[in-house]
Amino acid sequence: MAYETILYELQDRILRITLNRPERLNAMTETMRYELIDAFTRAGDDASVRVVVLTGAGRGFCSGADLAAAVESGQPVDFGHVLRNTYNPLIMRMRCLPKPIIAAVNGVAAGAGMSVALACDLRIAADSASFLQAFVKIGLVPDSGSTWLLPRLVGLTRAMDLMLSGRKVSAPEALAMGLVNQVVPDGEFADVVDKLAREYAGAPTRAIGYIKQAVEFGLDHSLEAALDKEAELQELAGKTADHQEGVSAFLQKRSPQFRGE
């Protein structure tokens, strides 16, 4: 599939997906959503991809649904259909991807653009980045996983504030509330993201996939069920070549060379 609205660049085990409609702060069209679903499916299928970096072109990360496109089409938006067929499968692809996803939040992340950032495993924000649950400002309900992810990330009190007010949160405030992992000065942002991506490109990818699966499972199951799930996944992790390599490297006092196998 040739992409019109995103860039898909794979180099040295690092897949960089760039939302590429900078003139509208990378607002999401239907085309972009289908392209992202395809890109994350490819990322899952391609063993040479060990980490995904999701970022935006220009000064924004993603401003959410393209509000102008909806008006330009002249058709009323069937929100239920749009969510069930595009946003929801995208979020599920991301959450189920057995590889780490780093959101490199280079600018504003609004509405579903913020939801997509929340669906990533790690969020690194540039100093000038900001986050807003813009939905309520246009009379909508937070979607694309925000109502599920945001309270789990920042707690119910803060999540309700953000969702009900739609106010803009700066990168430092986002860090203080646990919404992002790190805030980086704009001038150092690209280097810090690259360094982190290289670290994950050399990580034991299968174990990371199992960690994602266990955490996702544990979020809505009992302790007993989560313990069972851990045992199931640890059994799989224990049979990986990377586990053998990790133990050997430790005993030989050297750095492990993980191959993601």
User: Which residues of the shown chain bind ligand T3D in the complex (CB under 6 A)?
Assistant: 24-25, 27, 63-68, 70, 77, 79, 82, 108, 110-112, 132, 134-135, 137-138, 140, 143
CB of 135 vs ligand T3D, minimal distance in Å? 5
List all residues 6 or more positions away from 154 whose beta carbon is below 8 Å from its beta carbon: 162, 177, 178, 179
Residue 41: which H helix or E strand, with range?
helix 30-45
CB of 15 vs ligand T3D, minimal distance in Å? 24
Residue closer to ligand T3D by CB (options 82, 92) is 82
Residue closer to ligand T3D by CB (options 22, 202) is 22
CA distances from 59 to 1, 33, 56, 134 (A): 27, 20, 8, 18
CB 143 within 8 A of CB 87: yes
Residue closer to ligand T3D by CB (options 62, 197) is 62
Residue closer to ligand T3D by CB (options 111, 209) is 111
Which residue's entry shows tokens 């150092």? 188
The pair of three-digit structure tokens given for residue 178, joined into one six-digit string: 């646990």
CB of 186 vs ligand T3D, minimal distance in Å? 15
SS3 for 57?
coil
Beta strand pairing call for 60-62 and 108-110: parallel
Residue closer to ligand T3D by CB (options 173, 230) is 173
User: How many residues belong to the chain?
Assistant: 261
The pair of three-digit structure tokens given for residue 254, joined into one six-digit string: 């050297």
CB of 110 vs ligand T3D, minimal distance in Å? 4
The pair of three-digit structure tokens given for residue 180, joined into one six-digit string: 């992002």
Residue closer to ligand T3D by CB (options 36, 108) is 108
Q: Which residues pair with 56 in a beta bridge?
A: 19
User: Alpha-carbon distance 117 to 124, whole Å?
Assistant: 10
Beta strand segments in the chain, E: 6-11, 14-19, 51-56, 60-62, 101-105, 108-110, 122-126, 130-132, 168-170, 182-184
Residue closer to ligand T3D by CB (options 92, 140) is 140
